[in-house]
Structure 1
Amino acid sequence: MRIALLIILAIHALIHLFGFLKAFELAQFEALKEPVSRSFGILWLLACLILLCSLILNLTGSQFWWLLGLMGVLFSQILIFYFWSDAKFGSIANLIILIASVLAYFQFSFDRQMEEEIAQIKANTQELGSERISKADISHLPSIVQKWLDASGVLGREPISSVYLEQALQFRLKPEDQEWSPGTAQQYFSVEPPAFHWTTEMKMNSILKVLGRDRYMNGEGEMTIKILGILAVADVKADAKTNQATLQRYLAEIVWFPTAALSPYLEWKQIDSLSAKATMRYQGVEGSGTFHFNEAGEFTKFSTLRYMDVNDESPTEWVVEAKRSAVMDGVKIPVRCEASWILESGEWNWLKLEIVDLSFDF
């Protein structure tokens, strides 16, 4: 789609050059039958240059190309109305560029909002000190959790204050879906206070794009999903069930920054030799889940009862399984995971993710 837009922009911009060339008698074009004065010739050239600048900004990845796109469409359409009999079909190209520019604006607006929200979480993030974690620091935890932290490689390191990661996704939005749709996501975590910000871009097909954002901050959860960045199909804020579900998600995802297991808002209880229950209490909200490990101390699964929707009367079993672990930024973490809801009709494996980039701030 982007290539098609670039081609349309290039051709449409160059066609405007014809008006300039005819006005200054530099060339003749049979398609332009109406006379063009030099004043209008300069205006045709100006429209051409604006559209070409929009094209260049798009090619270079600038988020502001849409602004010149809108200006170029406005300028071009005024000229087309004036030379309607010769130039009316240019309105089709203008309509395409207009739609693309409006969509780009909403993407730009969404991205700016995300940047501001992440900046807010970063501003609140507290450094956890430079004292390195020792065996004595984890001695109060269940033995399997101690083994996990040791296997993760966090002993002898400073506690992680925040983490940024990027994910490659595959998802199925409905239990009956057979095909997987691709997506990407970026996520930022803070340990103290506990918070995360997750943004995703999901491609339903070659045209339809879905933007999503989940946020956990100040003990409250929020979820937003917008088609093409415009039409909100989900917008949940600070609902009691959402707050708990988002807290439980944060709890499950501490496996990506294991030193958070030492946080004062977490309470651990051994279940058996290979599993432990963690309860998180923060800002009046409580949620728990069970962490499962293998004999080597590697995380294998997280399970809990979690609200799938704010309208659900009771929570549903939610499971996150680690499919592969690897060392990233010096810490061994699960880098490939799958998430499922255990429905009455059976297991709905709805998400596959892989961490493609990660960095810690100690």
Structure 2
Amino acid sequence: MWIKWMAIVGVLIVVSLGIAAIYGSYRWQLNTDKLRAKLINGQRTIKPKIYDQKELEGLPEPVQRFFRTVIKDGQAIVSAVKLSQQGLFNLSETEDKWSPFTATQFVTTQRRGFDWDARIQMTPGVNAFVHDTYLLGEGSLYASLIGLFTIADVHGTPENNQGELLRFLAETPWYPTALLPSQGVRWEAINDTSARATLTDGETTVSLVFQFNAEGAIATMRAEARYRDKLTAMPWCGRFGEYSVRNGMLIPLEGEVGWEYPEGIRLYFKGRITEIEYEFAS
């Protein structure tokens, strides 16, 4: 008899967990919809609406070569991006503990912002839901187990705002018209293969050094200091690869990101874009 009751209890537990997961996913999606509605409502008019290669005059030579490589004269300026990703995320800071993830991301280029909505596998069948967001000048990171139990909630600090705006700038190779001077980016020469890009949004200003490959596309990015928390800032870097043409723009489909320690780079993200759609200024 006790075996029968144990089986019943086991079934009830499985059903309860299933219901909790469904409810958590539903509640999480409602929050995602709200965040992305705010991004859409916060959009600003983009000018100019079409890229004119006259913008390149006076820019560092590797930057001019980059724009000539990845976009053509007359390219419409990107206003929003929707993409899907899959890859691996390292859950440990001291060892390799890679877990698969899937994510969708929505980006607006004016006003600058994004929402990364990810599912990272913690254990088989159990996911951490993550919102990494930059919205109306404020960065936030919120993570929840199965969409119900909060495990991280950081938002609104100057350090987090800096970190999330850096992420926006680092991901502009996916929407390269956002790197044009007309879209607010200032470029400084470093050498024949790299240049510094600086972006200001409200009270936050960030800079990245982009290094360009032999073809002229962006190969790597590096920030001298990105805040990991309120007290700790470290060099932060990434690599791009597998370039492909999408909507007339040459963009990378693969990338990896990590922190730069004295002993070397420790990666925490390896991802690939599986789908990408653009909206353009009109």
Mapping of 1:64-75 within 5 angstroms? none
Query: Secondary structure at the residue paired with 1:161?
Result: strand
Alignment match of 2:37 (pick from 84, 96, 119): 119
1:257 aligns with 2:175: yes
Alpha carbons 2:52, 2:74 under 8 Å: kept:
yes
For residue 316 of structure 1, what is the aligned residue in structure 2? Answer: 234
Query: Secondary structure at the residue paired with 1:100?
Result: helix
1:246 aligns with 2:164: yes
Cα deviations by residue, 1:277-329 (Å, 9 ceiling, x for unpaired) = 0111111111111011023211100000233422434x211111013211123
For residue 142 of structure 2, what is the aligned residue in structure 1? Answer: 224
- Superposed CA RMSD in Å reads 2.1
1:158 aligns with 2:76: yes
Q: Which has the higher strand share?
A: 2
Q: CA deviation at 1:131?
A: 4.5
Q: Which amino acid is 1:231 matched to?
A: F
1:294 aligns with 2:213: yes
Query: Secondary structure at the residue paired with 1:120?
Result: helix
Alignment match of 1:193 (pick from 106, 111, 116): 111
Alpha carbons 1:154, 1:259 under 8 Å: kept:
no
For residue 148 of structure 1, what is the aligned residue in structure 2? Answer: 66
Based on CA coordinates, which of the two structures has the bigger radius of gyration? 1
1:174 aligns with 2:92: yes
Structure 1, gaps ≥5 residues long: 1-30, 32-85
Q: What is the rounded CA distance, in whole Å, between the counterparts of 1:161 and 1:210 in structure 2? A: 30
Alignment match of 1:303 (pick from 222, 238, 243): 222
Query: Secondary structure at the residue paired with 1:302?
Result: strand
Q: CA deviation at 1:225?
A: 1.3
Q: Which has the higher helix share?
A: 1
Alpha carbons 1:183, 1:201 under 8 Å: kept:
yes
TM-score (normalised: structure 2)? 0.91
Q: What is the rounded CA distance, in whole Å, between the counterparts of 1:252 and 1:120 in structure 2? A: 22
The 1:343–1:142 alpha-carbon spacing in structure 2 relative to 1, beyond 3 Å, is same
Alpha carbons 1:149, 1:155 under 8 Å: kept:
no
> Greater relative contact order (Cα 8 A, min sep 6): structure 1 or 2?
2
Q: What is the rounded CA distance, in whole Å, between the counterparts of 2:5 and 2:213 in structure 1? A: 70
Alpha carbons 1:201, 1:210 under 8 Å: kept:
yes
Q: What is the rounded CA distance, in whole Å, between the counterparts of 1:306 and 1:173 in structure 2? A: 21
Query: Secondary structure at the residue paired with 1:243?
Result: helix
Q: What is the rounded CA distance, in whole Å, between the counterparts of 1:141 and 1:106 in structure 2? A: 49
Q: What is the rounded CA distance, in whole Å, between the counterparts of 1:349 and 1:337 in structure 2? A: 11
Cα deviations by residue, 1:257-287 (Å, 9 ceiling, x for unpaired) = 1111124432111111111101111111111
Q: CA deviation at 1:188?
A: 1.0
Q: What is the rounded CA distance, in whole Å, between the counterparts of 1:172 and 1:241 in structure 2? A: 22
Q: Which amino acid is 2:253 matched to?
A: V
Q: CA deviation at 1:91?
A: 4.8
Q: CA deviation at 1:237?
A: 0.7
Structure 1 outlier segments of 4+, above 3 Å: 86-92
For residue 27 of structure 2, what is the aligned residue in structure 1? Answer: 109
Q: CA deviation at 1:175?
A: 3.2
Alignment match of 1:333 (pick from 251, 273, 276): 251
Structure 2, gaps ≥5 residues long: none
The 1:233–1:344 alpha-carbon spacing in structure 2 relative to 1, beyond 3 Å, is farther
